[in-house]
Amino acid sequence: MKVDVQSLDTFNQLAHEGAEAATRSLTQMTGIEATVDVTRISLLDREDVGEELRGTAFAGVQFGFEGALAGETVLVFEEKRVGDIVEALMPGGCADESMAQSGVEEIGNIMMSGFIDGWAEHLNATIDHTPPTYIEREGAAVVPDGPETGARDQVFVFRSEIEWAGEDVNFYIYMLPGYGSMAELLAEHVDTAGDAIPIEKLAVFNQMTREGAAKAAENVQMMSGIETEAEVAQLSFVPIEDVPRQFGEDTYVGTVVEFTGTPSGFLLVLFDEASAVTVAEALLPVEPDSDGLTEQHESAVTELGNIMTSGFVDGWANVLQQSVDHTPPRLVHDMGQAIIDPLAAQLGRHQRHAFIIDARMQTDEVDFESEIHALPNEQELRAALDELVVDRADQLEADAEQIF
Amino acid sequence: MAEVLIADDSEFMRNLLREILEEDHTIVGEVENGVEAVEVFTEEHPDLVMMDIVMPIRDGIEATDEIKDTSPDANVVMCTSVGQEEKMKEAVKAGADGYITKPFQKPSVMEAIQDVVPS
C-alpha cells in the first residue's frame, strides 16, 4: 500500500478542520475564545504516543469510532483546569462533581462530533462513535490504547492542539485510527501516477530513525558518562507554515547543520539551557571559570552536536549506500521558533509541506534532555524512500577496519 | 615519539586529542580547517596528521588528497564523527592510512597511531 503527499495533506487538512469545528463548538457552548494551534500527522511506535504529555495529569473524554475509519480518540486538558472549563460552561460554579464530569463529557461529545463529522463528510461515508467516557489519567496514559496492542507497533496519530486565548489552557486531541484502517484509507486516495511512497517504507524509515537516535544517545553516554536513552522517534507531516509552531517558545542551546545528499535538509540537536550546562560540564575535563553557559560549554555542546548529528544520519547513508555530507555545526542559542523559522523559510521556497523527523532522549539520572529534529527536503526524502531497500534496513553501521 | 599535527575545527576536540597524545608524542600544530592543515603540513612535515573530515573552508578528505599528492609517504589518520561507509571509501581513495570514529577512547586512538607510525 502506498501513500502520497497529496493525500497526507488532505488528511492533515481534514484533521485541522475537524479541530476547528471542535473549537467553534467550544466557543458556542462556553464563550471560550480558542484557536487551533497545531495539527500534525505522525507515524511512530505505539509506546511513544503522548510522551510529550509526561508529568502532567489530564482530564477529558474518550471515544471509540468505527465505519469508514476505525479507532480511538481523546480530547483532554490539564486536570487542574477542569474547574475553569466547567465554570465557563455553567457560570456560578457546580458543586456536584458528577455534574461537573457530565459537563466535561458533554463539551467533549459536542466538540468531538464536530471533529469526526468532517471526516465522514469528506469520505462520503458513515463514521459512528461510542458515547464519551470521562477520563482522568497521568501523562501518556491518557492516550487510548487503540486497536494495536504491541508497544513497538507503528501507529498513525493525528494530534491537534487548541489554545484558549489569553489563558494558560490547552486542549489536546489525539486520534489513533487503526493502522490497517488508516493505511487502507491512504491507499484508496493515493495518486498512483504521482509521488506515492509505500507505507511500509515509511515504517522502516521510522525504525531507522529510532536506531539513529539510539546511536546518538550512545554517543552522548560514551562522551559524557550520562546514561542516556532514546525515548521517541517519529515522522510527522505538517504544512510548512506550521513548522515553527511545532518548536514552541522555550529557549534551546544546540547545533544546526545543513546536510546534502539524498536527502538534503537541516538537522538540529537541541538541549534546554540546564541540560546544555549539565552535559557540557560532564564533557569538560576541568570545571569552567564561571557559571552559566561559557565559551567552554559552547565548544563542548558544539562538538557533541556534531557527533550526535553523525550518529543520527550515518545510518541513513549506510542503508542507502550513499554519502550524506553535512556542514560544520553552527551553535544556536535562542527560542525554538526563532531557531527553526529561517530553516523552514528556506525549505518553503521549494515545498508546501514538511516531513519532520524527531527523536528525543533523556535520562532520569540527572537533569538532561535532548532533541534531534531533521527537516529533509520533501522531494529528496521521497527519492530516498524510493531507493530504500527494506532488506538492507539493518545495515546501519559501517566497519572502518574492514575498509582500511 | 611521533610529531603530530591535529586538524579539527572543534577547540574542544583539539584539546581532548592534545591531552591524549602529548604524553607520548609531540604536537607540532593545531589547525581548524583543511587549508591550514595543508599549509602546516608543508611547513612542519609531521610524522602523522590526525584529520577531521567535516571542517569549514576545506574538508579533511580534500586536504588529505592534497597532502598525499605532494607527499605520498605522509601518514594521515582520519579522526571524525562520520561513520558512513561511502565516506570511509572516499577517505581510502584520498590516501588516508587509518580511520577513527568519534567518540573514541584513548586506547583506540593510541592503537590507530601505532598501526600507522609504529614506535
- For A370, the grid coordinates are 535532548
Cα(A234)–Cα(A43) distance, integer angstroms = 6
Look at A299 and B99 and tell me if their CB atoms are within 8 Å. Answer: no
Q: Which fold has domain A198-403?
A: Chemotaxis protein chec (3.40.1550)
Cα(A317)–Cα(A390) distance, integer angstroms = 14
Cα(A101)–Cα(A137) distance, integer angstroms = 14
Inter-residue contact A271 to A291 (CB < 8 Å): no
Look at B83 and A283 and tell me if their CB atoms are within 8 Å. Answer: no
Look at B81 and A285 and tell me if their CB atoms are within 8 Å. Answer: no
Cα(B75)–Cα(B83) distance, integer angstroms = 20
- For A381, the grid coordinates are 526524502
Look at B84 and A309 and tell me if their CB atoms are within 8 Å. Answer: no
pLDDT attached to residue A95: 62
Q: Which CATH architecture has domain B1-80?
A: 3-Layer(aba) Sandwich (3.40)
Cα(A86)–Cα(B91) distance, integer angstroms = 66
Which residues lie closer than 8 Å to B15 by C-beta, 6 or more apart? A285
Q: Which fold has domain A2-188?
A: Chemotaxis protein chec (3.40.1550)
Domain boundaries, chain A: 2-188, 198-403
Look at B10 and A285 and tell me if their CB atoms are within 8 Å. Answer: no
Cell 457552548, residue located: A29
Element (H, E) at A379: helix A378-387
Look at B54 and A397 and tell me if their CB atoms are within 8 Å. Answer: no
ipTM: 0.87
- A307-333 pLDDT, tens digit per residue, is 999 988 999 899 988 889 999 999 999
Cell 465505519, residue located: A67
Stated pTM of the model: 0.88
pLDDT attached to residue A192: 67
Shortest CA distance to A31 belongs to which of A88, A82, A78?
A88
Q: How many residues does chain B have?
A: 119
Instruction: For residue A322, give the amino acid letter.
Output: Q
pLDDT attached to residue A84: 83
Inter-residue contact A376 to A264 (CB < 8 Å): yes
CB of A169 within 8 Å of a chain B CB? The answer is no
Strands of the sheet with B48-51, listed across from one edge: B26-31, B3-7, B48-51, B76-80, B98-101
Instruction: For residue A212, give the amino acid letter.
Output: G
For an interface test with B, the pick among A308, A323, A327, A372 (most B C-beta atoms closer than 10 Å) comes out as A323
> Residue A118 burial by CB count (10 A; 0-12/13-18/19+): exposed, middle or buried?
buried
Cα(A277)–Cα(B107) distance, integer angstroms = 28
Q: Which residues of B touch A211 (CB under 8 A)?
A: none
- A188-232 pLDDT, tens digit per residue, is 877 766 678 888 888 888 888 888 888 899 999 988 888 888 878
pLDDT attached to residue A392: 87
Q: Which residues of A touch B98 (CB under 8 A)?
A: 404
Cα(A316)–Cα(A101) distance, integer angstroms = 49
Which residues of chain B approach chain A closer than 8 Å at the C-beta?
A: 9-13, 15-16, 19, 54-56, 80-90, 92, 96-103, 105
CB of A305 within 8 Å of a chain B CB? The answer is no
Q: Which residues of chain B have pLDDT under 70?
A: none
Look at B81 and A318 and tell me if their CB atoms are within 8 Å. Answer: no
Domain boundaries, chain B: 1-80
Look at A328 and B98 and tell me if their CB atoms are within 8 Å. Answer: no
**Which of A309, A311, A398 is opposite residue B85, by nearest beta carbon?**
A398
Q: End-to-end distance of chain A based on CA atoms, in angstroms?
A: 42
pLDDT attached to residue A362: 83
pLDDT attached to residue A231: 79
pLDDT attached to residue A152: 64
Q: Which residues of chain A have pLDDT under 70?
A: 1, 93-95, 146-152, 192-194
